[in-house]
Structure 1
Amino acid sequence: MFTISSSTFTNTISSSFPSSISSPIFSQNPIFHTTLFSKPFLFHNPLSIALRKPTTATVFCKSSEASAESEEPSVPEDEWLQKLPEKTKPLYSHSLPCIEAWLKSLGFNQSKDDRAQWFVNKPDWHAHLSLDATDIYIRYLKSGPGNLEKDMERRFSYALSREDIENAVLGGP
């Protein structure tokens, strides 16, 4: 704690203002007068809370060699494929790692820039798939093989079964 003695504050107002201002008003009610602080004024140190024993955390950094490797969790995707619910269950009942493993098994590749974007190159068409908050969007690209006149987009609700979405997506444009 910090203490401020009563002698620290003085009535400096009367010396800094003209006498017409300081005489009647400020002589009766001085702002910092020594009689107002008869006891030491205590301030609590705002940093005293931070003086507790700090908690430690371990931070792991990848070396430059490890950055070339995959950034996937250590659990193999085959394990997530085994944890997939039945094909007839709605997709919203699947965990995200299960959905990602399922998309990889269908031939989709995840974007490194945006983890919600997936790409697939089939012999007859190319597409981008996006996992949105409420729906799955797939855009079949006219730049890929096939005879699309323009990009074609479809939207599927997570309430549809995995089997239905798989059949619709892999059916192509």
Structure 2
Amino acid sequence: MISLPAETPLYNHPLPEIERWLIEQGCQQNRSQLHCWYVKRDTWEAEIALEIDQLMVRYFNMDEEGRELQRAFKYSLSRQDVEDAVFSGP
């Protein structure tokens, strides 16, 4: 269980809590690139990368054309804001 409130900026969450949060969202960690996570929903898939200064999300398999979309979220955003933006899909 995550101990800091959802309104807390991501940069205030220790890495183990961020990883636990990603697991709770249904993400799976890439074992060869530990900063990368994968999540699949009914209408899209995404790779989430915990970069140095931001969280990068690359959505793929969004449609038959195979289009991709990449978004970046600063760690200064609250966990709830990032969760709402990332996991609502592209």
TM-score, normalization by structure 1: 0.50
Count of equivalent residues: 90
> Which is richer in helix?
1
Asked if the contact 2:36–2:50 (Cα under 8 Å) also holds between the matched residues in 1, the reply is: yes
User: Structure 1 residue 118 and structure 2 residue 37: aligned?
Assistant: yes
Between the aligned residues of both structures, percent identity stands at: 34
Is 1:103 the counterpart of 2:22 in the alignment? yes
Normalized per residue, the structure richer in strand is: 2
Taking CA–CA contacts closer than 8 Å with sequence separation of 6 or more, which of the two structures ends up with the larger relative contact order?
2
Give 1:94's aligned residue: 13
SS of the equivalent of 1:89 reads coil
Give the drift of 1:150: 2.1
Q: Measure how far apart 1:147 and its partner are.
A: 5.2
Alpha-carbon distance in 2 for matches of 1:155, 1:145: 18
CA contact (8 A) 1:123 1:145 kept: no
Counterpart mapping for 1:13-32 below 5 A: none
- Structure 1: segments with no counterpart, 5+ residues: 1-80
The corresponding residue for 1:153 is 70
Checking the alignment, whether the CA contact within 8 Å between 1:89 and 1:161 is kept in structure 2 is: yes
Higher alpha-carbon Rg? 1
For the residue of structure 2 that corresponds to 1:167, the secondary structure is helix
Can you give the 5+ residue segments of structure 2 that lack an aligned partner in the other structure?
none
